[in-house]
Each structure stands twice: as structure tokens, then as C-alpha cells.
Structure 1
Amino acid sequence: MGQWNVQHMSDVLNSYGVVGHLGGALLAVLQTVFPFVPFVLVAGMNVLLFGLWGGLAINYLGACLGAVIAFYAARHYGRSWVQKKLVKYRNIEKLNAQLERRGMLFIALSRLIPVLPSFAINYGAAVMKVRARDFIAGTLIGKAPMIWLESLIGHDLLHFARYKGRLLVLLAAFAVMIVIGNRFKNKWMKNENGM
């Protein structure tokens, strides 16, 4: 989905007035539950549809709401089945104990430093011993910077000629966060395999 498609989708939704705007907001929720396209594309479309700050707010609220819906759906429908499968892994109880004590911190950090895809955090936390309130608080805290970053990247991609300098800085910041996330993930995997 390129710039024209994002612009076109935004124009189509805008032509439907309030219903189209609700559709744009709903896409932010649905993309979080079912990640069918990269979030940055939905973020860019909503920034075009609602303006930079309105789009940022819609993207943040939609992504947080979608994460909570995914969490509760997985907790209600899949938790007992997954926990039966995880019993054979010896480090799961140790991880669960950490998540039970410091779930909010783990969720917030995993949102800030992209170690795992967002949908994996939503569903993974649901089947582990993360308290719902810790998941929600960690999501609200951790998603704010990433949604801001992805919304600005989406905006600047669509207005490349005007914002190319800022876009390069944003992409560099995003790349640094991914590198940090990969280092954390590799260190964690090494520790897990060494145990």
C-alpha cells in the first residue's frame, strides 16, 4: 500500500463524513487486533483524515483499545489451553512470577522498546500471569511514544517533500529502537538457552 493508496483511502473515508471518520478510527482498533497491514500505514491514513494531532489521538486510543480487546479475548478464550501447553517448559513459572510482580513495567518496556510485535505482547500477556490492570497501565504508558513516532512517520512519508529532514530523524530514532529491542531479545534468548 503506497502513498497514493493511503491518500486514496483517506479521501474515500473522508467522503463518507462522520461514518468514514468512524471507519478510520475503527481501522486503528482492528489493525491492533488483526495486524493486516503495518500500523504506520493506518496511522498515516488517520493523520490525513483527522489532521496530525487528531490522527495521533485516534491512533493512540484505537491502538490501546484494540490491545485491550485482544488481551481480554485471548484471556477468555485461549488462556487455559495455552497454559496446559506451557507446563512442560521449565522457565515459564519463573517468567510468570516476574510478570505477576512487575507486569506493568514489562508491558510498558516491551511497548517502548520493540522486542516483540505488538500483537504478540497482547496475546502473550493474556495467557501469562499479567494482571489486567498492569497490562492496561503498561499499554497506556508504553504505547504513547511509539504511536506518536509511527503517526509522525506516516504523516511525514505522505508529505515527504516538506518534512524529509524530520522524517530521516524519525526513521533513525525508530531504527535505533529496533536495534535496542533486538539486543534485548538476543540477550534474553541467550539467558533462556543458558539456563
Structure 2
Amino acid sequence: MGKWNVQHVSDLLEAWGLWGHFLGALLAFVQPVVPFMPFVVVAGVNVLVFGLWLGFVVNYVMAVLGAITEFWLARNYGRAWVEKKIANHVYIQKFNKQIEYHGFIYITISRIIPVIPSFGINLGAAVMRVKTMDFVLGTIVGKLPMILLESFIGHDLLHFQHNKIRLLIMLGIFVFLLFVGHICKKKWLGSDERT
């Protein structure tokens, strides 16, 4: 989805008034549960609809609630389905062994550093013995910097002429986190293969 489409969606939501704002918030809630598009696109739509800072708050609150909802549903109603779904994902299985004993730390770090997609963290944590409070607190703490970053990137991509330097800085941070996430993934998941 390119700039025109993001602009078009945000204009459409604006035209719908309160219902459009509700749908924008709903997009941020649903995306962690059903990752139908990159979150940075949803973030871009919402910062256009709500403004940068209110858009960030909407993105953050709704993404956290979406992640917690997916975790809760998977743990209480879909455990067998989730276990079957992730059975073929070796990296999620290995990551689960790590987060079982240090839930808060691993959930927080994996939210900040892209090691595994958000839905994988939500589903994986749901079928392990990660304490609910560890998951909730780790999600609240860990999602804050990443969603702030994605909201800025989504905003600045659409206002490139006015925010070139900040966009380059934010993209640099994002690339750096991806690189660190790749190293962490090899360390966390690779170490399990040697034990």
C-alpha cells in the first residue's frame, strides 16, 4: 500500500467522521491479531486521521489491547488450534522454551527488537507457561518504543519534504533494530540447537 492509498484511506476515514475514527482505531486493534498489512501502514493512516501524537496513542493502546486479546483468546479457547498452528514453526517452538522461564524480559525485548512477528509472540506465549502478568507488562513496555517509531515513520513517509532528516534517523534506528533482532534470533534460537 503506497502513499496514495494511505492518504486515500485516511481521507475516507476522515470523511466518515466519528465512525471513521473508530475504524482507524479498530485497524490498529485487529492488525496484531490478523497481520493483513504492515503495522507501519496502519500507523500512517492513524497519524493522518488523528494527528501525530494522538495517532501514536491510538496505535499504541489499540495494538497492546489487540495483542492481549489474541493472547487471552488463544490461551483460553484456542490452545489446541494454536499448538497445531505453530507446530511447524521451529523457531517459535525454540523461542517458547526461552520465554517460559523469563517471560517479562523476553516478551519486552522481543517487542522492542523484531525477533519474531507480533502474532507469533502472542500465540507462542499463550500455549506456554508464560504468566499472564509477564505477557501483559512485557507487551505494554516493549510495544511503546516500536509503535512510537512506526508512527513517526508512517507520518514522515507521508510528509517527506518536511521531515527528511527525522525520517532517515527513524529508518536508521529501525534497520539497526532489525539487525540486532537478527543477531538475537541466532543467539536465542541457535543456542537451543547446541543444548
Q: 1:190 deviation in Å?
A: 2.1
Q: What is the alpha-carbon distance in structure 2 between the residues aligned to residue 187 and residue 151 of structure 1?
A: 29
Match of 1:139 in 2: 139
Give the structure-2-normalised TM-score.
0.90
Measured in 2, the distance between the counterparts of 1:176 and 1:74 equals 32
CA contact (8 A) 1:78 1:127 kept: no
- The code of the aligned residue for 1:37 comes to M
Instruction: Give the SS at the match of 1:179.
Output: helix
Rounded Cα–Cα distance in structure 1 between residues aligned with 2:188 and 2:99: 15
Q: Give unpaired runs (5+ residues) of structure 2.
A: none
In 2, distance between residues paired with 1:56 and 1:13?
Answer: 17
Q: Which residue pairs with 2:165 in the alignment?
A: 165
Instruction: Indicate the SS of the match to 1:22.
Output: helix
- The Cα of 1:100 is off from its aligned counterpart by 4.4
Amino acid corresponding to residue 48 of structure 2 in structure 1: L
Please state which structure has a larger fraction of its residues in helix: 1
Q: Does 1:174 align with 2:162?
A: no
Distance 1:94 1:19 in 2: 39
Partner of 1:67: 67
User: RMSD between aligned alpha carbons?
Assistant: 2.0
Matched ranges for 1:3-82 at <5 A? 3-80=3-80, 82=83
Tell me which stretches of 4 or more aligned residues in structure 1 moved more than 3 Å: 92-96, 98-101
1:125 equivalent to 2:125? Answer yes
User: Which aligned pairs between 1:142-157 and structure 2 lie closer than 5 A?
Assistant: 142-157=142-157
Instruction: Tell me the TM-score normalized by structure 1.
Output: 0.90
Greater C-alpha Rg: 1
Q: Deviations over 1:72-94 (max 9, x none)?
A: 111123324628x97xx9xx799
Give per-residue Cα distances to partners, 1:81-139, cap 9 Å, x unaligned: 628x97xx9xx79965x534421111101101111111111111111111111101000
Structure 2 residue identity aligned to 1:145: P
1:116 aligns with 2:116: yes
Q: State how far apart, in whole Å, the 1-side matches of 2:95 and 2:8 are.
A: 49
Long gaps (5+) in structure 1: none
Alpha-carbon displacement from aligned partner over 1:15-71 (angstroms, at most 9, x marks no partner): 111111000000000111100000000000000000000000000011001001110
CA distance in 2, matches of 1:93, 1:169: 33
Cα 1:177–1:123, aligned 2, differ >3 Å: closer, same or farther?
same
In the alignment, is the contact (CA less than 8 A) between 2:96 and 2:125 conserved in 1? no
> Residue type matched to 2:52 in 1?
L
Tell me if the contact between 2:14 and 2:21 (Cα under 8 Å) persists in the aligned partners.
yes
Query: Are the structure 2 counterparts of residues 46 and 95 from structure 1 closer, same or farther at C-alpha, using a change threshold of 3 Å?
Result: closer
Q: Which amino acid aligns with 2:131?
A: R
Note if contact 1:39-1:150 (Cα within 8 Å) is conserved in structure 2.
Answer: yes
SS in 2 for 1:11: helix
Change (3 A) 1:93 1:180: closer
